[in-house]
Amino acid sequence: MSSHREQSTDMSISEPGISFVTESAILLQFAEPSLNSVDVELQARICHLASTLQAHLQIGPLLTDAVPGPGSLLLALRDGHAARRVLREAEQLWQHLEFNASAGQRHDIPVHYGGDDGPDLLAVAEITGLSPREVIHRHCSLDYFVLCLGFMPGFPYLGGMDPALATPRKDNPATRVLPGAVGIGGATTGIYPSASPGGWHIIGRTSIKLFEPDKQLPSLLQPGDWVRFVAVNEELPA
Protein backbone atom coordinates (compact mmCIF):
# COMPACT_ATOMS: atom_id res chain seq x y z
CA MET A 1 0.00 0.00 0.00
CA SER A 2 1.32 3.43 -0.81
CA SER A 3 0.48 6.89 0.49
CA HIS A 4 -2.59 9.11 0.88
CA ARG A 5 -5.83 8.67 -1.01
CA GLU A 6 -4.59 5.78 -3.10
CA GLN A 7 -7.56 4.12 -4.79
CA SER A 8 -7.77 0.36 -5.08
CA THR A 9 -10.22 -2.38 -5.96
CA ASP A 10 -8.52 -5.19 -4.05
CA MET A 11 -11.75 -6.09 -2.30
CA SER A 12 -14.06 -7.86 -4.67
CA ILE A 13 -17.47 -7.86 -2.96
CA SER A 14 -19.38 -4.68 -3.87
CA GLU A 15 -16.05 -3.38 -5.23
CA PRO A 16 -15.59 -0.75 -2.52
CA GLY A 17 -13.23 2.12 -3.09
CA ILE A 18 -10.25 2.02 -0.75
CA SER A 19 -8.58 5.30 0.15
CA PHE A 20 -6.01 6.35 2.70
CA VAL A 21 -7.38 9.27 4.71
CA THR A 22 -4.07 9.44 6.62
CA GLU A 23 -1.09 7.11 6.88
CA SER A 24 -2.96 5.16 9.56
CA ALA A 25 -6.61 5.54 8.55
CA ILE A 26 -8.30 3.67 5.70
CA LEU A 27 -11.74 4.42 4.31
CA LEU A 28 -13.66 1.57 2.69
CA GLN A 29 -16.48 3.04 0.59
CA PHE A 30 -19.12 0.46 -0.35
CA ALA A 31 -21.82 2.84 -1.62
CA GLU A 32 -22.54 6.52 -2.16
CA PRO A 33 -22.47 8.32 1.21
CA SER A 34 -26.11 9.37 1.41
CA LEU A 35 -28.31 9.01 4.49
CA ASN A 36 -31.42 9.45 2.35
CA SER A 37 -30.85 6.27 0.33
CA VAL A 38 -29.05 3.82 2.60
CA ASP A 39 -29.30 0.10 1.84
CA VAL A 40 -30.07 -1.25 5.33
CA GLU A 41 -28.89 -4.77 4.48
CA LEU A 42 -25.57 -3.45 3.15
CA GLN A 43 -25.21 -1.20 6.18
CA ALA A 44 -25.88 -4.14 8.47
CA ARG A 45 -23.07 -6.07 6.78
CA ILE A 46 -20.73 -3.10 7.21
CA CYS A 47 -21.58 -2.84 10.92
CA HIS A 48 -21.02 -6.56 11.34
CA LEU A 49 -17.68 -6.35 9.53
CA ALA A 50 -16.63 -3.56 11.89
CA SER A 51 -17.45 -5.53 15.04
CA THR A 52 -15.92 -8.73 13.64
CA LEU A 53 -12.64 -7.00 12.79
CA GLN A 54 -12.43 -5.43 16.24
CA ALA A 55 -13.03 -8.82 17.90
CA HIS A 56 -10.54 -10.64 15.65
CA LEU A 57 -7.69 -12.09 17.73
CA GLN A 58 -4.98 -11.08 15.23
CA ILE A 59 -6.52 -8.00 13.58
CA GLY A 60 -8.32 -6.42 16.55
CA PRO A 61 -5.09 -5.35 18.31
CA LEU A 62 -3.96 -3.63 15.09
CA LEU A 63 -7.00 -1.32 15.15
CA THR A 64 -7.75 1.65 17.36
CA ASP A 65 -11.26 1.86 15.95
CA ALA A 66 -13.60 0.70 13.17
CA VAL A 67 -16.27 3.30 12.51
CA PRO A 68 -19.25 2.63 10.21
CA GLY A 69 -20.53 5.55 8.17
CA PRO A 70 -23.22 5.76 5.48
CA GLY A 71 -22.09 3.07 3.03
CA SER A 72 -18.57 3.11 4.43
CA LEU A 73 -16.20 1.84 7.10
CA LEU A 74 -13.29 3.83 8.52
CA LEU A 75 -10.45 1.71 9.88
CA ALA A 76 -8.07 3.48 12.26
CA LEU A 77 -4.76 1.61 12.56
CA ARG A 78 -2.25 1.62 15.38
CA ASP A 79 0.50 1.26 12.79
CA GLY A 80 0.17 2.24 9.12
CA HIS A 81 2.52 -0.61 8.18
CA ALA A 82 -0.27 -3.07 9.06
CA ALA A 83 -2.54 -1.73 6.30
CA ARG A 84 -2.03 -4.59 3.84
CA ARG A 85 -2.63 -7.21 6.49
CA VAL A 86 -5.80 -5.51 7.76
CA LEU A 87 -7.19 -5.05 4.24
CA ARG A 88 -6.43 -8.66 3.31
CA GLU A 89 -8.29 -9.91 6.40
CA ALA A 90 -11.15 -7.48 5.81
CA GLU A 91 -11.55 -8.79 2.27
CA GLN A 92 -11.69 -12.41 3.43
CA LEU A 93 -14.19 -11.60 6.16
CA TRP A 94 -16.36 -9.55 3.80
CA GLN A 95 -16.53 -12.39 1.30
CA HIS A 96 -17.39 -15.09 3.81
CA LEU A 97 -19.12 -13.17 6.59
CA GLU A 98 -22.15 -14.92 8.01
CA PHE A 99 -24.47 -12.48 9.69
CA ASN A 100 -28.03 -11.89 10.73
CA ALA A 101 -29.21 -8.35 9.96
CA SER A 102 -31.50 -8.46 13.00
CA ALA A 103 -28.80 -9.63 15.39
CA GLY A 104 -28.04 -6.25 16.97
CA GLN A 105 -29.36 -5.21 20.37
CA ARG A 106 -32.94 -3.99 20.45
CA HIS A 107 -34.05 -0.88 22.29
CA ASP A 108 -37.55 0.40 23.04
CA ILE A 109 -37.39 4.19 23.29
CA PRO A 110 -40.33 5.87 25.09
CA VAL A 111 -41.34 9.14 23.44
CA HIS A 112 -43.77 11.88 24.38
CA TYR A 113 -44.96 13.29 21.08
CA GLY A 114 -46.15 16.83 20.34
CA GLY A 115 -46.68 19.78 22.66
CA ASP A 116 -43.57 21.38 24.12
CA ASP A 117 -41.70 18.10 23.58
CA GLY A 118 -42.53 17.97 19.88
CA PRO A 119 -42.89 21.56 18.69
CA ASP A 120 -42.64 20.60 15.00
CA LEU A 121 -45.19 17.78 14.98
CA LEU A 122 -47.85 19.98 13.40
CA ALA A 123 -45.40 21.22 10.77
CA VAL A 124 -44.48 17.63 9.84
CA ALA A 125 -48.17 16.77 9.59
CA GLU A 126 -48.75 19.73 7.29
CA ILE A 127 -45.74 18.96 5.08
CA THR A 128 -46.58 15.25 4.76
CA GLY A 129 -50.34 15.69 4.45
CA LEU A 130 -50.94 13.38 7.41
CA SER A 131 -52.72 14.04 10.67
CA PRO A 132 -50.50 14.45 13.77
CA ARG A 133 -51.89 11.16 15.10
CA GLU A 134 -51.00 9.38 11.84
CA VAL A 135 -47.48 10.82 11.95
CA ILE A 136 -47.07 9.36 15.45
CA HIS A 137 -48.61 6.04 14.46
CA ARG A 138 -46.32 5.66 11.46
CA HIS A 139 -43.25 6.75 13.43
CA CYS A 140 -43.94 4.11 16.10
CA SER A 141 -44.92 1.29 13.76
CA LEU A 142 -41.48 0.30 12.44
CA ASP A 143 -38.15 -1.00 13.69
CA TYR A 144 -35.28 1.35 12.89
CA PHE A 145 -31.72 0.32 12.16
CA VAL A 146 -28.86 2.32 13.70
CA LEU A 147 -26.94 3.16 10.53
CA CYS A 148 -24.13 5.06 12.21
CA LEU A 149 -23.35 7.63 14.89
CA GLY A 150 -22.40 11.17 14.00
CA PHE A 151 -23.04 14.91 14.11
CA MET A 152 -22.34 14.81 17.86
CA PRO A 153 -21.26 12.04 20.26
CA GLY A 154 -23.99 9.44 20.55
CA PHE A 155 -26.31 10.86 17.87
CA PRO A 156 -27.89 7.86 16.07
CA TYR A 157 -28.90 8.08 12.43
CA LEU A 158 -31.82 5.67 12.13
CA GLY A 159 -32.75 4.04 8.83
CA GLY A 160 -35.98 2.37 7.78
CA MET A 161 -38.41 5.25 8.32
CA ASP A 162 -41.74 5.23 6.50
CA PRO A 163 -41.13 7.27 3.30
CA ALA A 164 -44.42 9.08 3.91
CA LEU A 165 -42.78 10.80 6.90
CA ALA A 166 -39.82 12.22 4.94
CA THR A 167 -39.53 15.92 5.77
CA PRO A 168 -36.88 18.37 4.55
CA ARG A 169 -34.61 19.95 7.12
CA LYS A 170 -35.63 23.37 8.35
CA ASP A 171 -34.65 26.43 6.35
CA ASN A 172 -33.88 28.17 9.65
CA PRO A 173 -32.39 25.73 12.21
CA ALA A 174 -33.35 26.04 15.86
CA THR A 175 -30.67 27.63 18.03
CA ARG A 176 -31.20 25.04 20.78
CA VAL A 177 -32.68 21.55 20.63
CA LEU A 178 -33.17 19.81 23.97
CA PRO A 179 -31.49 16.52 24.96
CA GLY A 180 -33.65 13.55 24.01
CA ALA A 181 -35.39 15.38 21.18
CA VAL A 182 -36.64 13.00 18.48
CA GLY A 183 -36.49 14.50 15.03
CA ILE A 184 -36.93 13.88 11.32
CA GLY A 185 -34.39 15.12 8.79
CA GLY A 186 -35.04 14.11 5.19
CA ALA A 187 -35.65 10.36 5.01
CA THR A 188 -33.95 9.72 8.34
CA THR A 189 -35.02 9.96 11.97
CA GLY A 190 -32.76 10.38 14.97
CA ILE A 191 -32.40 11.44 18.61
CA TYR A 192 -30.38 14.36 19.96
CA PRO A 193 -28.31 13.01 22.89
CA SER A 194 -27.48 16.49 24.21
CA ALA A 195 -28.53 20.10 23.74
CA SER A 196 -27.48 21.51 20.40
CA PRO A 197 -28.53 23.74 17.55
CA GLY A 198 -30.37 21.64 14.99
CA GLY A 199 -32.23 21.75 11.71
CA TRP A 200 -34.37 18.62 12.04
CA HIS A 201 -38.10 18.80 12.72
CA ILE A 202 -38.67 17.81 16.36
CA ILE A 203 -41.76 15.67 16.85
CA GLY A 204 -41.19 14.34 20.37
CA ARG A 205 -38.77 13.78 23.21
CA THR A 206 -37.48 10.82 25.23
CA SER A 207 -36.23 10.74 28.80
CA ILE A 208 -33.69 8.04 27.96
CA LYS A 209 -30.04 9.15 28.20
CA LEU A 210 -28.26 8.27 24.98
CA PHE A 211 -24.75 9.42 25.84
CA GLU A 212 -22.97 9.14 29.19
CA PRO A 213 -19.24 9.88 28.75
CA ASP A 214 -18.24 8.29 32.07
CA LYS A 215 -19.47 4.85 31.04
CA GLN A 216 -17.19 2.25 29.44
CA LEU A 217 -19.51 2.33 26.42
CA PRO A 218 -20.72 5.95 26.41
CA SER A 219 -23.30 5.60 23.63
CA LEU A 220 -26.43 3.63 24.47
CA LEU A 221 -27.13 2.94 20.79
CA GLN A 222 -24.47 1.38 18.59
CA PRO A 223 -24.30 0.90 14.81
CA GLY A 224 -26.09 -2.35 14.04
CA ASP A 225 -28.64 -1.99 16.86
CA TRP A 226 -32.39 -1.72 16.35
CA VAL A 227 -34.74 0.88 17.80
CA ARG A 228 -38.50 1.03 18.19
CA PHE A 229 -40.26 4.15 19.41
CA VAL A 230 -43.09 3.79 21.93
CA ALA A 231 -45.56 6.65 22.42
CA VAL A 232 -46.14 7.42 26.11
CA ASN A 233 -48.71 10.21 25.67
CA GLU A 234 -51.77 9.81 27.88
CA GLU A 235 -53.75 11.05 24.90
CA LEU A 236 -52.46 11.34 21.35
CA PRO A 237 -53.03 14.50 19.31
CA ALA A 238 -55.84 14.24 16.78
Strands of 70-155, DSSP E: 72-77, 106-113, 144-149
Q: How confident is the model at residue 34 (pLDDT cuts 50, 70, 90)?
A: confident
Considering the chain, what is the average pLDDT of its residues? 88
CATH classification for the domain delimited by 106-231, as one of 3.40.50.720, 2.40.30.10, 2.40.100.10, 2.30.180.10:
2.40.100.10
Which regions of the chain carry the CATH code 2.40.100.10?
Answer: 106-231
Tell whether domain 17-96 is in CATH 3.30.1360.40: yes
End-to-end CA distance of the chain: 60
* pLDDT value, residue 14: 53
Is pLDDT above 90 for 206?
A: yes
Q: Determine the Cα–Cα distance for residues 161 and 141; give it in Å rounded to an integer.
A: 9
Give the C-alpha separation, 235 to 114, whole Å.
11
Predicted TM-score (pTM) of the model is: 0.84
pLDDT confidence bin for 2, thresholds 50/70/90: very low
- What percent of the chain is helix, strand and coil (3-state, nearest 5)? 25, 30, 45
Contact (CB, 8 A) for 20 and 7: no
Per-residue pLDDT band for 101 (boundaries 50, 70, 90) equals low
Band of the pLDDT at 33, cuts 50, 70, 90? confident
Residues of the chain with CATH 3.30.1360.40: 17-96
